[in-house]
């Protein structure tokens, strides 16, 4: 896992924490009791504990294994000496064994050997025994021998002596006793302090290393902890700000490419999206409020004036009420449309989608709107491909097509309307409506799908400016799109016209 190592220039090992507590990651305010509750630090402690435990286990195993090996080796060595000396005694007699014991060669340096009588008087001893076995030690050896259940069993003695140079020295011998005859006892011990010393050194190294590991581990843990908590605290501050209602709060990116940066980036993206959605909602809310306020106040003043009229001439009452009803209906319709759109957008996709006969839908729309166009003196033509199947919600798509056709008829004074249905080269199902009206300047085309946007020349016509917004919402809810292009072009006093197309993704059936 790529932990990010902080910039060490920020590390302040001296007490230079004043003034920049946030930037001093190690010995600043963070190193308080709650550092132990922070995850990275707790993980570090856990790893250190596990490490120490394992190290102790390994060392104990090595110690046990090698000390039993040491015992076995020294016991065998001691036994071979004793056997040899016993042989000398049996074959050459007492004097020979005493002489052999004293006159040994240098290879026997690891052993102490002595022969003593039952009173504890030393009859002979080798050089090492002379220097390292004081009478007190010798007595100690004899006392130990008495406690042994089997006189020939190997035993260990440890003792410390001050050597002639005045230094305390630790001795460790493992040896055995053999009684050659009553009053003639042979002791041979082997120096095992080399093994003890090895362990001592190993033990010290392990402790030293362990302490170093623990200290470094804690140090690293704190660094990681600070690094993590700095990142996390940055994010928490952002969330706190958002919780308090500040949707503009964003996490600072460090562009380090690590996980925290990636997380901060996601958080920022989510907040961007939320801010935009909230903005949309607010905009829609404002727009509805605005759009409802105008007709509502108009309705109110009309009713107010009508009241006087009705008082003078009661026969006007039905007319007045009917007009008021018509206005109310328009308001409700606006409300309903915005509501539908919001639900579509919130759901992300149209409900209840299934394969349907797109050809039939186009023909039905033709049949519905043809006479509306004809009534206005417009020519209505259609080019509908046969047998086209699409996937979607038929009623929502009918609504969208009705809006497109209604717009086309509304904004066309002369010429005609054409409804087309085809499967395009990308296998998409494309409904398009072309008219010969005035068209929409290119600069305005992106704008006209926004809610409540109406262009100057349409203000005199009925409508509230939701038609194309609804079409777009329906298209998006089908993973399709609405495209708006120029119509057939200018011809006499007509045109250039507008071509709107509702394009649905290919139906894979």
Looking at 93, 198, 209, 351, which residue binds other proteins (CB under 8 A)?
A: 351
Euclidean distance between CA atoms 360 and 354, whole angstroms:
15
Contact criterion met (CB below 8 Å) for 449 and 390 = no
In the complex, minimum distance from the CB of residue 457 to other proteins, in angstroms, rounded to a whole number:
19
The token pair that represents 218 in the structure block: 């804690």
Reported as type and span, the H/E element at residue 124 is strand 122-125
Contact criterion met (CB below 8 Å) for 24 and 16 = yes
In the complex, minimum distance from the CB of residue 412 to other proteins, in angstroms, rounded to a whole number:
14
Contact criterion met (CB below 8 Å) for 328 and 460 = no
Euclidean distance between CA atoms 252 and 241, whole angstroms:
13
Looking at 327, 364, 485, 486, which residue binds other proteins (CB under 8 A)?
A: 364
**Any contact of residue 369 with other proteins (CB under 8 A)?**
yes
Looking at 105, 143, 150, 375, which residue binds other proteins (CB under 8 A)?
A: 375
**Any contact of residue 367 with other proteins (CB under 8 A)?**
yes
Q: Which residue has the tokens 């707790």?
A: 42
Contact positions with other proteins (CB under 8 A) in 8-47: none
CA dihedral 243, 245, 247, 252 (to 10 degrees): -50
Binding residues for other proteins, total number by CB under 8 A: 31
Residue 264 or 365: the one with the smaller Cβ distance to other proteins is 365
Main-chain dihedrals φ then ψ at residue 158, nearest 5 degrees? -125, 140
In the complex, minimum distance from the CB of residue 458 to other proteins, in angstroms, rounded to a whole number:
14
In the complex, minimum distance from the CB of residue 316 to other proteins, in angstroms, rounded to a whole number:
14
Contact positions with other proteins (CB under 8 A) in 282-341: 318, 322, 325, 329, 332-333, 336-337, 339-340
Sign of CA dihedral 59, 65, 70, 71: positive
Residue 173 or 356: the one with the smaller Cβ distance to other proteins is 356
In the complex, minimum distance from the CB of residue 233 to other proteins, in angstroms, rounded to a whole number:
44
Contact criterion met (CB below 8 Å) for 192 and 159 = no
x/- letters, 68..87, toward other proteins (CB under 8 A): --------------------
Eight-class DSSP state of 494: B
Contact criterion met (CB below 8 Å) for 227 and 25 = yes
In the complex, minimum distance from the CB of residue 403 to other proteins, in angstroms, rounded to a whole number:
7
Residue 42 or 454: the one with the smaller Cβ distance to other proteins is 454
Contact positions with other proteins (CB under 8 A) in 408-427: 410
Main-chain dihedrals φ then ψ at residue 114, nearest 5 degrees? -150, 160
Looking at 74, 114, 192, 403, which residue binds other proteins (CB under 8 A)?
A: 403
Contact criterion met (CB below 8 Å) for 125 and 102 = yes
Residue 463 or 496: the one with the smaller Cβ distance to other proteins is 463
Euclidean distance between CA atoms 464 and 461, whole angstroms:
9
Contact criterion met (CB below 8 Å) for 453 and 447 = yes
In the complex, minimum distance from the CB of residue 371 to other proteins, in angstroms, rounded to a whole number:
5
In the complex, minimum distance from the CB of residue 229 to other proteins, in angstroms, rounded to a whole number:
47
Pairing state between β 416-423 and 379-384 = parallel
Residues that bind other proteins (CB under 8 A): 318, 322, 325, 329, 332-333, 336-337, 339-340, 343, 351-352, 364, 367-369, 371-372, 375, 393-396, 398-399, 402-403, 406, 410, 467
């Amino acid at each position: 896992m790529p932990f990010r190592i902080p910039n060490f220039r920020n590390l302040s090992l001296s007490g230079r924490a004043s003034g920049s507590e946030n930037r001093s990651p190690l010995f600043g305010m963070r190193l308080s009791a709650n550092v132990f509750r922070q995850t990275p630090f707790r993980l570090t402690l856990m790893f250190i504990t596990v490490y120490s435990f394992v190290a102790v286990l390994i060392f104990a195993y090595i110690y046990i294994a090698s000390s039993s090996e040491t015992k076995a080796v020294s016991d065998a060595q001691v036994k071979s000496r004793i056997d040899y000396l016993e042989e000398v005694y049996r074959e050459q007699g007492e004097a020979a064994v005493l002489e052999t014991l004293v006159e040994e060669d240098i290879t026997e340096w690891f052993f102490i050997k002595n022969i003593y009588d039952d009173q504890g008087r030393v009859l002979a001893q080798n050089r090492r025994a002379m220097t390292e076995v004081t009478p007190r030690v010798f007595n100690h050896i004899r006392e130990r021998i008495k406690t042994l259940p089997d006189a020939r069993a190997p035993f260990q003695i440890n003792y410390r002596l001050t050597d002639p140079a005045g230094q305390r020295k630790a001795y460790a011998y493992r040896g055995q006793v053999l009684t050659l005859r009553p009053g003639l006892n042979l002791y041979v011990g082997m120096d095992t302090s080399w093994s003890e010393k090895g362990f001592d050194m190993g033990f010290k190294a392990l402790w030293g290393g362990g302490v170093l590991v623990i200290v470094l581990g804690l140090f690293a843990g704190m660094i990681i902890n600070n690094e993590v908590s700095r990142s996390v605290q940055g994010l928490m501050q952002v969330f706190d700000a958002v919780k308090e209602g500040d949707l503009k709060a964003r996490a600072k990116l460090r562009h380090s490419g690590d996980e925290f940066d990636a997380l901060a980036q996601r958080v920022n993206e989510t907040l961007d999206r939320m801010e935009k959605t909230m903005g949309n909602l607010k905009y829609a809310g404002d727009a509805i409020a605005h759009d409802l306020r105008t007709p509502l106040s108009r309705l109110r003043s009309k009713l107010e004036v009508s009241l006087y009229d009705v008082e003078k001439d009661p026969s006007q009452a039905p007319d007045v009420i009917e007009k008021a009803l018509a206005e109310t209906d328009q308001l409700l319709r606006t409300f309903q449309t915005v509501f539908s759109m919001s639900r579509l957008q919130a759901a992300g996709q149209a409900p209840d989608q299934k394969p349907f006969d797109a050809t039939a839908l186009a023909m039905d729309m033709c049949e519905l709107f043809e006479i509306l166009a004809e009534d206005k003196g417009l020519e209505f033509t259609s080019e509908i491909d046969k047998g086209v199947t699409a996937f979607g919600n038929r009623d929502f798509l009918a609504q969208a097509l009705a809006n497109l056709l209604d717009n086309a008829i509304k904004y066309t004074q002369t010429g005609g309307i054409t409804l087309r249905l085809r499967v395009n080269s990308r296998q998409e199902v494309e409904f398009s409506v072309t008219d010969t009206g005035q068209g929409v300047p290119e600069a305005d085309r992106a704008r006209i799908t926004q809610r409540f946007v109406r262009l100057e020349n349409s203000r005199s016509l009925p409508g509230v400016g939701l038609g194309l917004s609804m079409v777009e919402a329906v298209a998006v809810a089908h993973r399709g799109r609405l495209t708006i292009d120029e119509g057939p072009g200018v011809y006499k006093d007509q045109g250039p016209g507008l071509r709107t197309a509702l394009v649905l993704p290919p139906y894979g059936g």
